[in-house]
Structure 1
Amino acid sequence: MLESLQVLRALASLMVVVFHLGAPLQRLGLIAPWPQSGAAGVDIFFVLSGFLMLVTTYGRTGYTASFYHKRLVRIAPLYWIVTTASLALLLLAPQLVKSGRAETWHIIASYLFLPARHPVLGTLEPLVVPGWTLNYEMFFYLLWGMALLLPQRQRLPAVSLAIAGLALLGIAAPGDNPFFAFYTSPIMLEFVFGLAIGLWYLKGPTIGRGWGWVLMGCGFVSLLSQGDVPPETRMLRWGIPAAMVVVGALVLERSRPVPRVGLLALLGDASYSLYLVHGMVLSAVGQVFVRLSPQLALQGPALYIACAVTAVGAAIVVSVVVHLLVERPLLRLMSEKRPARKAAPEGRS
């Protein structure tokens, strides 16, 4: 993994954590509106995903089955573990789950990476709410894996046309069916941005290092200065700035290797764990503060700051522990190549 992208993964995951921090703070009594721009961390992840899929599969042939296996091993095991933990909490201690209800199809769809309406929120989100992005990721992997059957020069155009066609279909004939509404969202074009960036990185012209800083700066300012954006314009208002950030980071990487920063590298490695577990950690810390707030000698801003720092710190610590003790061993275990079976001697079966 390029070091610049490790830093972006760390920053993007922290943006999402800060975005979701608003809910526990509001339960604690915060009245002021919480900034929504942290949700744009997801858009950075989508662009990064498109980039990495093109770069890591470029020039490979006969790779579709291996690609699907590697993507499933990378995404599914930890997600299923966290989903099972969320389901157990929902069934065994429903009073601790502020916005959940057990519904059979919603549970099944959560495990299968399929869109289903949340029984409480009404949105197309699984049991582990941030997992809605993984439903898009898996669909993109499905398309890209099929594209790998094509000649190299046809892959990017084929996937781009498929995703653009779905987006245009959703605009021309919008519908309420969860599958139709989900898979015709323009947000999937952000994967195409990443694919195009990957092709530029491998084959495109060099851009001056100074432009890298300009692109990153303008991209982050645009992302963080906007409030909540409607789904139909998210690809433009957050997707394009997210692509600028990724291009800027790669311009810097191309001109000079980005130095490794231990803490950011570790957080980049643990970004998937952080993305999956932070919701439960933030909720737990928030509930502790709600119960203890009458006894704490803190009020107003001091109370909110204490809760925010504790919650974000706890989310980071828990995610690193999960990454080191669960995610990494799982990846090693499931990526090991088993020795080929020896042929049985004649006369034995």
Structure 2
Amino acid sequence: MRFHSEILEGRDAGNDAGKPSHLLLNLQVLRGLAALSVVVAHALHETQMLAGATGRAAVDGSAWNLGFGVDIFFVLSGFIMTHTAASEFGKSGAPLRFFLRRCARVIPLYWLLTSILLLGALAAPSLLAVPIGSVSHVLASYFFIPSGRGVDEIRPVLALGWTLNYEMLFYVFFALALLLPIRLGIVWLSVLMIGMALVGSLVDPNHVQIAFWTSPIILEFLFGVYVALIFRSGVKIGKGIAFGLVVIGLLGFVHISAPWNDTALPQFLRSGLPAALFVLAAAIGPVLPRKRIVLWGVALGDASYSLYLAHPFILRPMRAIWTKAIGGALPLGLFVVFATLVAVMFAVALFRAVEKPLTRRVQSIVLGSARRKRLATGTLPAADTESA
């Protein structure tokens, strides 16, 4: 899932999103918790494998919708893109600048981890639960094109990258919306995405790419766009209303069987709307106190992209180590706790040692080249080169 680990990118858009604020603090904590929920969901899944090997009962997580973190990230993506690029609508060259920034942010770590997985598959193919697939599937994975992997599974080589396929689609649409003034751009974006979601119900699922890209889940990005518009209007809410929004949003974390069956609802309603309420509460609600636990949440939010993409590289080896070293001596709930903590520590280290410097280097190359080109063609004044 693409997580915007540096909301400070707002500086690039020429607005004040880069200033330390409750927006940065609250959303970073929310992103950290969302990433953590995905990790816990996958750690719970690993206990099902461990149950057969250790004789211990697997941890039953069926009551929880821990994949809800993905929905939160999609809403956050729509919010962040709209907020940080609001001043770019209608400006010359804005679509290309926006798209290059997003590619420079998303691609480096994803391509690195995908390549590592491919090398690992060549060295020890037996460790993979699902074969890598054809060369065309590998190429599609690198370029964010939905492609089949195994039976009835549309996933790239690095399976969690399925969310990035939606992210890149949204970036393309949003970049095109930047051609227009903000009001017209948002209307165009809304009509396009709602229209695609409506068409999706008519598409033959055998048309993999079209069926994938027209899934109603894309509307979750649009929810984030609207939340950003509410935030930018200056609306603020107090603790009571913010708490109420969070309580309702928490319904996204649970599976409800009565009085209705939540699985009968499309995901953008069952999970997307609660996610939008979470993001809305974080954006226009009171600032979180700057206590140690909140700052830990901010640090986790910073590393959330690394945590999301890299945690399977930790959970699978941890499962093997637990089987050999612990076996059935301890309940598997402790595996979930321990494996999650190790994944978090690894992600923080990966963010600081690899993701952050790698991303900065790529951004300096890609965006620096674009700035030099704009200077050479006379489309960018020299004074604007540092803030573009």
TM-score (norm 1): 0.89
User: What does 1:278-293 align with in structure 2 at a 5 Å threshold?
Assistant: 278-293=311-326
Cα distance change of structure 1 residues 95 and 229 upon mapping to structure 2, 3 Å threshold: farther
Q: Which residue of 2 aligns with 1:234?
A: 267
**Residues 39-78 of structure 1: pairs in structure 2 closer than 5 A:** 39-60=67-88, 61-62=91-92, 63-78=94-109
Distance 1:166 1:67 in 2: 23
More divergent stretch after superposition (92-101 vs 238-247): 92-101
**What SS does the corresponding residue of 2:331 show, helix, strand or coil?**
helix
Structure 1 counterpart SS, 2:285: helix
Is contact 2:237-2:285 (8 Å) kept?
A: no
How far apart are 1:121 and its partner, in Å? Answer: 4.7
Q: 1:209 to 1:251 in 2, by over 3 A?
A: farther
1:19 pairs with one of 28, 35, 41: 41
Aligned to 1:34: 61
Residues in 1 aligned to 2:290 and 2:117: alpha-carbon distance in whole angstroms:
38
**Distance of aligned partners of 1:122 and 1:195 in 2 relative to their CA distance in 1, 3 Å threshold:** same
Seen in structure 2, the aligned counterparts of structure 1 residues 93 and 25 have a Cα distance that, compared at 3 Å, is same
Structure-2 separation of matches of 1:231 and 1:94 = 38
Which position in structure 2 is the counterpart of 1:225?
254
Structure 2 distance, partners of 1:52, 1:166, is: 22
Query: Corresponding residue for 1:94?
Result: 125
Q: Indicate which of 189, 194, 208 corresponds to 1:164.
A: 194
Q: After alignment, is 262-271 or 204-213 more displaced?
A: 204-213
Where does 1:95-174 land on structure 2 (aligned, <5 Å)?
95-118=126-149, 120-174=150-204
DSSP 3-state at the match of 1:28:
helix
Q: For 2:306, give the aligned amino acid.
A: S
Aligned to 1:175: 205
Structure 2 segments unaligned to the other structure (5+ residues): 1-6, 8-23, 52-56, 377-388
SS in 2 for 1:38: coil
**Which residue number corresponds to residue 221 of structure 2?**
191
Compared CA separation, residues 258 and 146, structure 1 to 2 (3 A): farther
Q: Relative to structure 1, is the Cα distance of residues 209 and 307 closer, same or farther in structure 2, using a 3 angstrom cutoff?
A: closer
CA distance in 2, matches of 1:85, 1:65: 30
- Which deviates the most, 100-109 or 66-75? 100-109
CA-CA distance at 1:309 after TM superposition: 2.1
Alpha-carbon distance change, 32 to 320 in structure 1, aligned in 2, over 3 angstroms: closer
Task: Please give the alpha-carbon distance, in whole angstroms, between the structure 1 residues aligned to 2:265 and 2:177.
Answer: 26
Residues 296-325 of structure 1 show CA distances to partners (whole Å, capped at 9, x for unaligned) of xx44xx331332222111111111111001
**Residue equivalent to 2:32:** 10
Q: d(CA) in 1 for partners of 2:360 and 2:77?
A: 21
Code of the aligned partner of 1:162: L
Question: Closer, same or farther in 2 for the Cα pair 1:74/1:232, shift >3 Å?
Answer: farther
CA distance in 1, matches of 2:321, 2:115: 23
Would the aligned equivalents of 1:43 and 1:190 in 2 still touch at CA under 8 Å? yes
Q: Matched residues in 1 for 2:213 and 2:227: separation?
A: 23
- Match of 2:266, SS state, is helix
The answer on whether the counterparts of 2:102 and 2:171 sit within 8 Å (CA) in structure 1 is: yes
User: What is the identity, as a one-letter code, of the residue corresponding to 1:223?
Assistant: G
Which one of 296, 300, 304 corresponds to residue 271 of structure 1? Answer: 304
1:84 aligns to what SS in structure 2? Answer: helix
- Structure 2 vs 1, CA of residues 23 and 257 (structure 1 numbering), >3 Å: closer, same or farther? closer
Q: Does 1:320 align with 2:348?
A: yes
CA contact (8 A) 2:140 2:147 kept: yes
User: Structure 1 residues 331, 237: closer, same or farther in 2, change over 3 A?
Assistant: same
Structure 1 stretches of 5 or more lacking a match? 344-349
Change in Cα spacing, 1:229 to 1:73, as seen in structure 2 (3 Å) is farther
Q: CA deviation at 1:209?
A: 3.3
Give the residue type in structure 1 aligned to 2:271.
W
